[in-house]
Structure 1
Amino acid sequence: MNVVSWPDRLLTLNDWIALPEDNSRWYELVEGVLVVSPRPVAKHQRAVWRLTAQLEPQLPEELGVLPEVELVIEPGTPSTVRVPDVLVGAAEGIEANLARWAPADVILVVEILSDGTKRTDRVTKLAEYAEVGIEYYWLVDLDEPVTLTAFHLIDEHYENVGEQTGRARLDLAGQPVIVDLPGLTGARAAD
């Protein structure tokens, strides 16, 4: 049995950065508290990959899309670092190979609902992402029919701008995007 030494205090952003890399679980830092969850299962992972692949070619060249990157909500003490399922941000950040993203460089965050995170995604993250000024927030529910609930930041609060199924047509900073929601979970189309 390994004994792990752990700080007897809330973790800082530097403590977070110093943590050893571990892909066996899902980690976030919430007000200095390390939150550990099981990794998402296959259906969830496939939906993340497919959503990322659908969005990338529809974005203007100044934006890019990434799965599972660190987003520093609060760098001070106590620190909060979220790891959204999908993030759309400045292409400059991708080119700079950022390890962590600041909210000012992010236009959209997407969370795919999972058992154990639904309330956090619908309530806590909704408030956090709005508080730091992320313009768009999407929630994807993989239960049939797959649905996408879109939020747009208006006057420092998210406004629900619609729930869609099928081929969702959305606005992303004036750029129309289409998301094939059944395609996030369905079998691959035959050639």
Structure 2
Amino acid sequence: MTAVPLPPAHLLTVGEYAALGEDGSGRSELMEGNLVMSPSPSPDHNMAALRIALQLIPQLSPDLEVITDVDIDLELAPADQPGFSRRPDVIVVRRSARARVRAEGGLIRASEVLVVVEIVSPGSRRTDNVVKRAEYADAGIPYYWIVDIEDPVSLLACHLTDKFGYLDDQVVGGTFASTAPTAITLDLGDLR
């Protein structure tokens, strides 16, 4: 029989969440101090994230890099208060972010993230399109891409505005092209 650790009995700060580490039972995120668990992604989901990363890497300027499946501190609460941490499928950050984490510890900060990519799963459609969309906008992340790998594969690109949160561009299939944060083209057909 395998022992299953009990969930924390109080709302967690981002620091407490980061100190929990990995337990191998799925993916965890932190929502207003509450530990939220979800099943591990499907192979198709993971392959789509990898292919997005592989397409982005050669197109980014030298000061930017791609990181997959990593916790980010949304910086929506003071360090001593119940916090918010999400684990996007793919992020684009300034290269200095990883060096800062290596030197100081902690998590990648939302203020270091330029693009966050979420791949929709059967159990995450509302979370990705509503909840995370609002949290990422509140955290000030400039670009949010929502990728749906159901046939036909599509991408909804959202960009942050001053007053209204994210503004949607058109949902695209086939090829996605953007000039921000740098000139990028993604072959969405390669994600299936």
Q: Could you tell which deviates more after superposition, 47-56 or 156-165?
A: 156-165
Matched, 1:94 2:101: no
> How far is 1:12 from its partner?
1.8
Equivalent position amino acid for 1:158 in 2: Y
Matched, 1:155 2:162: yes
The residue that corresponds to 1:137 in the other structure is 144
Partner of 1:33: 34
2: CA distance, partners of 1:9 / 1:118? 28
Higher-strand-fraction structure: 1
> Could you say which residue in structure 2 is the equivalent of 1:85?
89
3-state secondary structure, aligned to 1:179 = strand
Give the Cα separation in 2 of the matches to 1:54 and 1:23.
Answer: 28
Secondary structure in 2 aligned to 1:23? coil
Q: Give the match for residue 61 of structure 2.
A: 60
What TM-score, normalized by structure 1, do the two folds share?
0.90
Q: Structure 2 regions of 5+ residues with no counterpart? A: none
Task: Pick closer, same or farther for the CA change 1:111–1:3 going to 2, 3 Å.
Answer: closer
Output the amino acid matched with 2:97: G
Pair 1:50–1:10, CA change in 2 (3 A): same
Q: Pick the aligned partner of 1:168 from 169, 172, 176.
A: 176
**Which residue type is aligned with residue 35 of structure 1?**
V
Q: TM-score, normalised by structure 2?
A: 0.89
**Closer, same or farther in 2 for the Cα pair 1:43/1:8, shift >3 Å?**
same
Show structure 1 runs of 5+ residues with no match: 186-191
Q: In structure 2, how many angstroms separate the alpha carbons of the residues matched to 1:111 and 1:102?
A: 17
Alignment identity in percent? Answer: 39
Question: CA separation in 1, counterparts of 2:64 and 2:126?
Answer: 29
**Structure 2 residue 52 is the aligned partner of structure 1 residue 51:** yes
Which of the pair has the greater relative contact order for Cα pairs under 8 Å at 6+ separation? Answer: 2
TM superposition shift of 1:6: 4.2
Partner of 1:116: helix, strand, or coil? coil
Please state whether the residue corresponding to 1:88 is helix, strand or coil. strand
Q: Residues 87-126 of structure 1: matches in 2 within 5 Å?
A: 87-98=91-102, 100-126=107-133
Number of matched residues? Answer: 184
Deviation at 1:112, TM superposition (A): 0.2
Give me the whole-angstrom Cα distance separating, in 2, the residues matched to 1:63 and 1:126.
23
1:170 to partner: Cα distance: 1.6
Equivalence for 1:178: 185
